[in-house]
Structure 1
Amino acid sequence: MKRTAFSLMTVLLAVMNESEPGDPYYVLAQYLLYHFDQLRELNIYDVAEACYVSRSGIRRFCQSIGFDNFSDIKAEAEEWQRHCNYFIGYSARPHYKDYLSQSITAMMEEINRLTTPAVLDKLVQRIHDSRHVVLFTSDFSGMAARGFQQSMVVMGKLVLIVTDARYIPGYLQDLTPQDLLITISATGNFAIMMEPLIQKTAAYKALVTVNHDRRFWAVYHQVIYLSEKDNANARTVYSQYGTNYFFDILYSRYVQRYLDDARTQGPYAEPVLSESTKNRLQKRLE
């Protein structure tokens, strides 16, 4: 199985968000989301009829979102229950507003303790000195990455975001030791699943997480913890707010160190394309 998507639900939502209503892929994504709780029982013939597409069209759709075929998508049926537990279980607690505000305050204090000037400066300098900077994250956690990406433009640094919804494995393999790959994986699950891809890149690798699994130190040059305890496999404020807070801190540190450089550096240097990238571009044009 070619599975490359970290979460079927987030990939389907990404297809809806990026497609026009009435587009076959939009219709298929919408249908599967509406019937996610019945995914195991779905029949490809019924889906084809309901969505006015062919079975070969469904297969192409599956491959476009990182699955070999419709059976592979059906195999993700248990994801529905995981999402129910993850979202509803977390939000249904009593006095939720009090719990949330207290948790966010404690989280910010903890991140402040862990992200010392030395920790931030190490990553900030690497961002500044790297030829290419890539943020690798699940589409679910992409909001913090997008905010950081936009803010870095005015500092003269273009940052690429690669997600499981529309990721480019060939691009990751083209990265060199002069490039930087930052994986954002609050619980660590995304980093674990994408480990084979991450190991193939020659870039300097950093991980932002709350997962204290020591396996990450064999893969990454720098692991930045957002919590002192291992908070893997549970929804916490770190997943929703921690990465946003961290990247705000990181950006502030970058501005403090390199604002003068950004004002004087002038236009962006033209990127140099690798031979493998040129070959892929040529194939797309043929």
Structure 2
Amino acid sequence: MLSFAIHLEFVEMGMTLQEQIYELFLLEKQVRGLNRRLEVASYQHTQMQSKLTRLQTQHEELAAQLKQTQAHANALENDAKDVETRIDALREQMSSVTNNKEYSALLIEVNTLKLSKGKIEEEALVQMEQVDSLQSQLTELEAQVQEQKKLVGAAEGEVQARKEEVGAELADRSAKRDAAAEPIAPDTLHIFNRLCDQHDGEPLAPAVEDNAKRMEYSCGGCYMTIPLERVNTLFTQPDSLTTCPNCQRILYVDDVLREQMDARAAKNKG
């Protein structure tokens, strides 16, 4: 069976790679957490602004429709007035006509114009009713636009408040994260950053002892079994990265596992 020599002492001269990566991991989580608070506020503001834009577009389209409908209604009213003027002229002409045939012709034209005028007035009435309906919708939509503007303003204030609240802390944590990354090799940082993106800011996972007697361990990230060889490497090679063979997260020894190992070592000495 594989020998399982556990080295729990930290290297006295500087931090081990595992410690450096773990420190970077903690700072990365803090930076991402602060950024997420800003992103939530920014997302809400974006959603509010998008809704305002939609309402304003609807308002513009409805206003254009109202203008067109009003113009059509006005044109119909003018047409009706023109027909009425023509009817009045024909009636005046009829009063001076002595020929029955000519009189009958004028009378037919007057009656035809009356029918036409009636249809025009009916259509004008329909258009005016449509104008009233559109005006009512426009008034209601205008109220929605004004209310949404207030919500957008409040969301903008929330974004600014979040920036003021976490700005200094975010700058401090970001600087510390950058400083923590400096001593780490570029290829190792590349792995770390790739895993950050792959696992939503959780590139590390603790090794978990499932059964001490059978020496069974699993990954605290994906909960899959970790080969004993990798657990041994995790403890015996603190200046190298040990990853989970399943999810590829970088493994580390947390306080729980360390206490379990310390207790077992003390018991064996006793």
Bin of the TM-score, shorter chain as denominator length: under 0.3
The structure with the larger Rg is: 2
TM-score (norm 1): 0.23
Higher RCO (CA 8 Å, separation ≥ 6 residues): 2
